[in-house]
Chain A
Amino acid sequence: MTDADGRRPEPAEELVLLRNRIDRLETESRRAFGDAQREADALFAQYQLSQLLASGGSLGELATAVVIELVRLSGGEAGAIWLGEHGSAVLTRAATVGPDTEARSPFQLEGLEAARSWSASDARCTGLVLDEEPPTFLAVWASEAEPLDTEGLRVAQLARHELGVAFAGARLREALERERHELAAIVDSATDVILQVDEERRVLRLNPAGERLIGASLPAAVGRTCAEVLGCDIAGGHREADCPLAEVLAFGVPIAYRETALRGNHGDAVRVAGSYTRSVGPIPGAVAGGGRATATAILRDISAVRALEQLREGFVATVSHELRTPLALIRGYSDTLLHLDVDEATERSYVERIHQVTDRLAALVTQILDVTRLDADPLILERAPASFAALVARLRGDLALSGEDGRLVVDLPADLPPIEVDSGRVGQVLENVVANALKYAPEETPVVVAAEVEGDWLVATVDDDGIGIPEAERRLVLEPFHRAGNVRESRIPGTGLGLYICRRLIEAHGGELRIADRPDGRRGTRISFSLPLLPNRGRATGHDDEPQPAGPSRPTESVGG
């Protein structure tokens, strides 16, 4: 070793120099180690921050996490973050951390300039603009004991861009989420069925309206084919080969309108009008499989529209027949009476015939008016306590006029409790049902009126020995203008309105009108309808009026023993 002069130093001197040099090297290496450590710390802090920023979550969650992280990084005691909207300068506080932040930070800041000068006015507060548009501002407060860690603040400064991107991402996610919610709300609240299938026509989505119409829950429907779920083939909608969903999937050409039928939740066929489209894109929620085609059907239940059409058609047909036939008869008989000389007996029979036919016409007009009134909402009932037996007795009196009372067999229990109904309306129902039975059952056969109590209801039944109503038509004959096929063939005149009116009137009372086979297995029909019993009937009849025993009504079982 030599010194600057090239002179070889003395051994003792050499030792001192050597020791100094070692000391220097050690200090340097310690400093280098310290620097490296700080560098590593900063790198790790950046890494953790970016991990946090990349981890998703809502805007609020991100804001809170970022404030916590940055307060930590800078060694401060508190912090707050303000977020603005695009195109607006105003910032609103989104998250705070640490003591008294609510008190020492304003809820709103009028722009970034205001934010800067506000933070500058507080010696312990350091403000940091994270983004200009939309404005994003962070403030960190140093503790009383020590100033902020500049290294940590530097990390935050360096991550400014990343922070801005993360907040933009979170805003975007929130906007998308909001949009998704809104769309989902539209789909969920739609009254039309919305059904989405994949390329194999397996159900991906079905909205609540679809679940209701088809009677299948979404989880039960998902993954099954549209043919299984909708049952178009069975319902007579279209053959499997003609599936409109398959068609749009294959050709990509939207179908704007097509009528078909599907299997409803009662297993019955429901007429629907649908529009069908294909879209290509990622299946929501699917990890892979982007770019796959899906087809969406929007189906509207048009059975009501169809029913209305049928009603109109039925009305036209019925009216044209039921009005014109008697009119033609009246015209014919009156012409004859006017222009021809007929004997007195013939004349009388003609007038009687005209009278008869006029009755028929009047009945038809009454029924049509009834139907019109039924469709007026609400149907006003004049409910009052009544006796079903009395209603039956009144009917018998009416029938006695035409001599048909002999066929009416009344089989009522003596202690039938009172009902609470509109007597006029229920009398009309009883008359109509019994008249039908008398009309369609062979002459001389009995029509049996019976009744029993079921819970809060009185269930009345009318049995006849007639030709019966085919099972498949039982639901239909309760609709307006529908007459069962076997009745139409029988050529007995009728409007197809009677049972419909009866059903509506019973339903207006909260009851039910049903058509069934006779329970004794004989040919014919049983029409049953339920009527509400008078509440608290015990007081009215004097039955069941005894005070209840104080103890339990049944002996209790002994425990143990």
Chain B
Amino acid sequence: VEEPEVQVPAESTVRLPTSPGAVAGQTVDAPAVRAYLERARRIVTRHAAYLTRLDAVLGDGDHGDNLVIGFRAVETMLDELPAETPPGELLQAVGHRLVAAVGGASGPLYGTAFIEAGFRAGDAETLDVTTLSDLLAAAADGLSRRGRCAIGDKTILDALRPAADAFARVVGGGGSLAAAVTAAELAARDGMRSTRALIARRGLALRLGERSAGYLDPGAVSCFLLVRALAVR
């Protein structure tokens, strides 16, 4: 299995998320969330074959295909939701859709992350960086609880938790949204790469024991992709 077919950008290439509703690039509104979900769908589709190949080693070889199906279902659902649906509600709906549409364990896990994030967002029209930081943390907490996983278990969490932590650190230090997103992406990438050496402690790869070491965790890779999609390029 070769290295992921994703290029990590230098920090300078990451621009501020902009959308008609965003205020000075420091908040996120419903159109921005929709735009993010579209980016997520595209990046997952682009790397679906690779994710599936990775999954064929450690899991049951359907991760990429499952995510494509899930985000396609999300796209259809978004078209049917009223334009004024607030970000929190959008994210929860996405979560429920993913739970229902994505096969395997990744559906409930990503679904939980989105639902928890949406729940944390409440019914606010726009989300500021602090809320976004809490939202990412809530996503990581929810996924960790549902999956009963911790850092180092060779799961999605190995990319998601560092991303949420890095985001929170930048926001806590007064950093911009763009800086927080970049930091999250880099942390997710490092977390994803760390899974190669790990012995799986969760999921189907568990049965491989020590033989699971040496391969990237497909969930961590797809999580990195979803974090990477946060940035508007």
Contact = CB atoms under 8 A, between A and B. Distances in A.
Q: Do A and B bind each other?
A: yes
A45 B112 CA distance: 13
A40 interface: yes
Interface string A78-90: 0000000000000
Given A68-B206, A72-B202, 13 more contacts: A41-B146, A44-B147, A45-B148, A47-B105, A51-B104, A52-B204, A55-B204, A56-B207, A57-B207, A61-B207, A61-B208, A64-B206, A72-B148
B201 interface: yes
Contacts of B202: 48, 72
Contacts of A247: none
Interface residues of B, number: 17
Interface string A51-84: 1100111000110110011001100000000000
Nearest to B153: A72
B173 interface: no
A73 B148 contact: yes
A51 B103 CA distance: 12
Contacts, number: 47
Contacts of B104: 51
B123 interface: no
Interface of A: 40-41, 44-45, 47-48, 51-52, 55-57, 61-62, 64-65, 68-69, 72-73, 152
Contacts of A41: 145-146
B145 A52 contact: no
Nearest to B150: A72
Contacts of A45: 148
A51 B105 contact: yes
A64 B148 CA distance: 17
B147 to A, nearest CB: 8
B209 A61 contact: yes
Q: Is the interface of A mostly helix, strand, loop or mixed?
A: helix
A55 B209 CA distance: 13
Interface string B196-210: 000001111011110
Interface in B136-183: 145-148
A44 B144 CA distance: 12
Contacts of B112: 40
B172 to A, nearest CB: 28
Contacts of A152: 148
B45 to A, nearest CB: 25
B207 A55 contact: yes
B108 interface: yes
Nearest to A72: B148
Contacts of A56: 207
15 contacts: A41-B146, A48-B105, A51-B104, A52-B204, A52-B206, A55-B207, A56-B207, A57-B207, A61-B208, A61-B209, A65-B206, A68-B206, A72-B201, A73-B148, A152-B148
B11 interface: no
A61 B201 CA distance: 13
A40 B115 CA distance: 12
Contacts of A52: 203-204, 206-207
Contacts of A47: 105, 108
Contacts of A44: 105, 108, 146-147
B173 to A, nearest CB: 32
Contacts of A64: 206-207, 209
A44 B105 CA distance: 8
B207 A62 contact: yes
A69 B105 contact: no
B95 to A, nearest CB: 11
Contacts of B208: 61
A69 B147 CA distance: 11
Interface string B10-38: 00000000000000000000000000000
Given A44-B108, A61-B209, A64-B209, A51 B146 contact: no
Nearest to A97: B201
Nearest to A53: B207
B146 to A, nearest CB: 5
A518 to B, nearest CB: 65
A40 B206 CA distance: 22
Most buried by A among B104, B112, B204, B207: B207
B204 A51 contact: yes
A68 B203 contact: no
B146 A40 contact: yes
A69 B203 CA distance: 9
